[in-house]
Amino acid sequence: MTLTISYQLFLEQFVQQLLNGLFLGSIYALIALGYTMVYGVLRFINFAHGDVFMLGAFSGLYLNKWLAPMLTTLPWPASVALVLVLSMIICGALGIIIEFLAYRPLRDKPKLNVLITAIGVSLFIEYTCQLIFGATQQPFPVLIPKSNIAGIGGLTVTNVQVIVLVTAFALMLGLRFIVMGTRLGLAMRALSLNPTASSLMGVNNGVVISFTFGLGSALAAAGGILYASLYPSIEPFMGITPGLKAFVAAVLGGIGNIPGAALGGLIIGVVETLVAGYSQSLGVPSGYKEGVAFVILILILIFKPSGLLGKVEREKV
Amino acid sequence: MKTLLSRISLLAAALPLLSSPSCKDSGGGPAATEIVIGEVAALTGGTATFGQSSHAGTQMAVDEINASGGLLGKKVKLVTEDDQSKQGEAGTVVKKLLSREKAVAILGEVASGKSLEMAPICQKAGIPMISPASTNPKVTEVGDYIFRICFIDPFQGTVMAKFALSRGWKKVAIVTDVKQDYSVGLSDFFKKYYTANGGTIVSEQSYSSGDKDFKAQLTALRGSAPDAIFASGYYNEAGLMAVQAHELGINAPMLGGDGWDSPSLTQVAGKAMEGNFFSNHFAAEDASPVIQDFVKKFTAKHKSAPDAMAALGYDSMMILAAAIKKAGTTEGKAVRDAIASTKDYQGITGKITLDEKRNATKPAVILTIKDGKFVYVETLAP
């Protein structure tokens, strides 16, 4: 099969597939950051994170509807930025509320209790949204007027994809600045190292944890809007699969490690796309892309158990 | 301990009751002044627009029947259960309709996968079931109480293959939803007819329902330069696929089956859907008076034109009503025989005759998408 295609065509197709994977992966990366931050600070997996991602997409949809008279008077980059920032604020607040109501009362309880609660919160959000928004898929409005950017050779990239990628990277860099360059970020890192010591040093752990949830949820909301811009059909259960993949991405990159989560997200996006794209040559139907992609991930984890960029942690006995 | 024992013995006594078919006393339901018809439809979830439309059609038929005096001197009561578009749920709700509501006949589902869940249950209970729109052949093969009033996948796949060949498209790429019996069936029969009559399948791709990213599959098939793409899945994925094909600069038209028939198709895809084709059961702009009369009545009630699912839902109820009238009873066996003898029934979706395999034979229409609307192209006979 591949022999009949010319080398140049093959190369062109390969680069196109890499690009496809990169765009998809950048969104997984954004969601993965939220998982990793919460884990880094609190040592637990916030399973409701994928649902905050969904809420982000829905708040984008409704903000766009309600603010329509005002948004139409603005140039589209301004209206996109406005919708994005407002959704991030809404979801950031929701993240803080979720933490305050569901997780804070369990702060000193066994980790398993919090984990189960997280699954409960996730299901609660999904079904509440199904009740409010309905279970049918809804078309997501066109926030960014689409146009094809003709690349080199036969490569095709749309401006939406470029904007998604740039926004995702800008947000990741912004996050890096917050964590590495601000006092609050310093407090987050201190809390992550040792909660007791950090509170003795005058860090208000409660505030820092709220802030972490808010920040992670805001990133998930941005991910939701960017995802819905690429795939303009949204429904209350849309967060499950991307959320699961982002969680795996966070583990793959080394959970608790911020650049690791970004790297893991990109890898999953690319691997999944390549498997789907070359399934005919591989001899598996492209519908099984996730299966193959996850087998590859398991292999990586067998050889690097703490993830690609994760620190090897010795269990203290 | 004593209560536990008595509970167990009660349960044991109840078991044979549960497993024995409840058809023997059908007609003597909760209220003898009503005829209860059960309907299973996806009112929410992934294929919700199908269920909502077919339900609207069925309900309209019931209202008309009741307005003109009902059936056998009784009112028809339609009990509708929502299966949330979920696999597994259709079987549960149909059991409820049979045991609790004592339905004398079942209408539904639209999706073949769900009809296949319901069919063995109705067959075992001896209650006739009419699916308005399940096109997978296996559905009616379950047993002699299972009917459908639409054409089947071999026909629909063949029609689209015929159509592609008539347009001079010699190379086609196929994209199949591996999770849907419907899509797999359509792709199979398309391939069979198309390759047997001189066409070449240049690429075969697949995905699972709920996927949102098809760029990898589309990039792969773009390399094989197809004249057309046969996307045999449902509207949601087809819409997203059209958008992404457009972005990748693929200009080959997309072809689909009746699973595309939903307003969501163009809402999601917008301009990217223009110039694509799909086969369907019914075209609202068909000039025949039967259809125009139905369109007028439906539009007056629902403020929107009926789609094929609404027309099929309407026809399924009307055929059932005609059969009950003919049988003169609601007893399962008699109604079954009356449905089986349906011949040349002039429905909204064409002249319907049920063959010995309990499938309807009737023509299909090809529609195209133009300015965001479904436009009639041609009618292809079986």
pLDDT in tens, B224-272: 899 999 999 999 899 999 999 988 889 899 999 988 988 888 888 888 8
Higher pLDDT, A293 or B35: B35
Cβ atoms A26, A168 nearer than 8 A? yes
pLDDT for B41 equals 93
pLDDT in tens, B293-311: 999 999 999 888 888 899 9
Q: Is residue A300 part of a domain?
A: no
Identify all chain B residues contacting A274, using CB atoms and an 8 Å cutoff.
216
Pick from A15, A19, A94: which is nearest to A53 by CA? A94
A140 to chain B: nearest residue by CA? B268
Q: Is residue A52 part of a domain?
A: yes
Q: Is residue A210 part of a domain?
A: yes
| Domain interval for residue A71 | 29-240
Q: Is residue A92 part of a domain?
A: yes
**Mean pLDDT of the residues in chain A:** 86
Higher pLDDT, B275 or A1: B275
pLDDT for B2 equals 46
CB contact under 8 A, B210 and A241: yes
E strand or H helix at A46: none
pLDDT in tens, A195-208: 889 889 888 989 99
pLDDT for B23 equals 42
Q: Please give the domain boundaries of chain B with CATH numbers for all domains.
A: 2-151+288-363 (3.40.50.2300), 153-280 (3.40.50.2300)
Q: What pLDDT band is residue A151 in, cutting at 50, 70 and 90?
A: low
Q: What pLDDT band is residue A152 in, cutting at 50, 70 and 90?
A: low
Tell me whether A266 touches chain B (CB under 8 Å).
no
Q: What pLDDT band is residue B176 in, cutting at 50, 70 and 90?
A: very high
pLDDT for A120 equals 94
Q: What pLDDT band is residue B125 in, cutting at 50, 70 and 90?
A: very high
Q: Is residue A110 part of a domain?
A: yes
Print the SS3 string covering chain B: CHHHHHHHHHHHHHHHHHHCCHHHHCCCCCCCCEEEEEEEECCCCCCHHHHHHHHHHHHHHHHHHHHCCCECCEEEEEEEEECCCCCCHHHHHHHHHHHCCCCCEEECCCCHHHHHHHHHHHHHHCCCEEECCCCCCHHHHCCCCEEECCCCHHHHHHHHHHHHHHCCCCEEEEEEECCCHHHHHHHHHHHHHHHHCCCEEEEEEEECCCCCCCHHHHHHHHCCCCCEEEECCCHHHHHHHHHHHHHCCCCCCEEECHHHCCHHHHHHHHHHHCCCEEEECCCCCCCCHHHHHHHHHHHHHHCCCCCHHHHHHHHHHHHHHHHHHHHCCCCHHHHHHHHHCCCCEEECCEEEEECCCCCEECCEEEEEEECCEEEEEEEECC
Select from A233, A275, A286 the Cβ nearest to the Cβ of B268: A233
A115: left (phi over 0), alpha (psi -120 to 50) or beta: alpha
B207 to chain A: nearest residue by CA? A287
Number of domains in chain A: 1
Calpha distance A184→A186 (Å, rounded)? 5
Cβ atoms A37, A180 nearer than 8 A? no
Q: Is residue A301 part of a domain?
A: no
Identify all chain A residues contacting B220, using CB atoms and an 8 Å cutoff.
13, 17, 276-280, 286
pLDDT in tens, B92-107: 999 999 999 999 999 9
Select from A130, A233, A286 the Cβ nearest to the Cβ of B240: A233
Q: What pLDDT band is residue A313 in, cutting at 50, 70 and 90?
A: low
**Portion of chain A with pLDDT greater than 90, in percent:** 30
CB contact under 8 A, B239 and A233: yes
Q: Above 80 in pLDDT, residue B214?
A: yes
pLDDT for A153 equals 65
Q: Is residue A18 part of a domain?
A: no
A-B C-beta contacts closer than 8 Å:
108
Q: What pLDDT band is residue B117 in, cutting at 50, 70 and 90?
A: very high
Q: Is residue A15 part of a domain?
A: no
Token duo for residue A161: 């994809």
Q: Which residue of A2, A15, A22, A136 to mutate against B (max B Cβ within 10 Å)?
A: A136
Calpha distance A253→A305 (Å, rounded)? 10
Q: What is the mean pLDDT of residues A280-307?
A: 78
Task: Name the CA radius of gyration of chain A, rounded.
Answer: 20
pLDDT in tens, B14-61: 444 444 444 444 444 445 689 999 999 998 877 788 899 999 999 999
Q: Above 80 in pLDDT, residue A281?
A: no
Classify residue B26 as exposed, middle or buried by CB count within 10 Å of its CB (0-12, 13-18, 19+): buried
pLDDT for B268 equals 85
Identify all chain A residues contacting B249, using CB atoms and an 8 Å cutoff.
148, 154, 156
Tell me which of A68-77, A145-154, B197-206 is least confident: A145-154
pLDDT in tens, A6-50: 677 778 888 888 988 998 999 899 899 888 888 888 788 888 999
Q: What is the mean pLDDT of residues A113-142?
A: 89
CB contact under 8 A, A286 and B216: yes
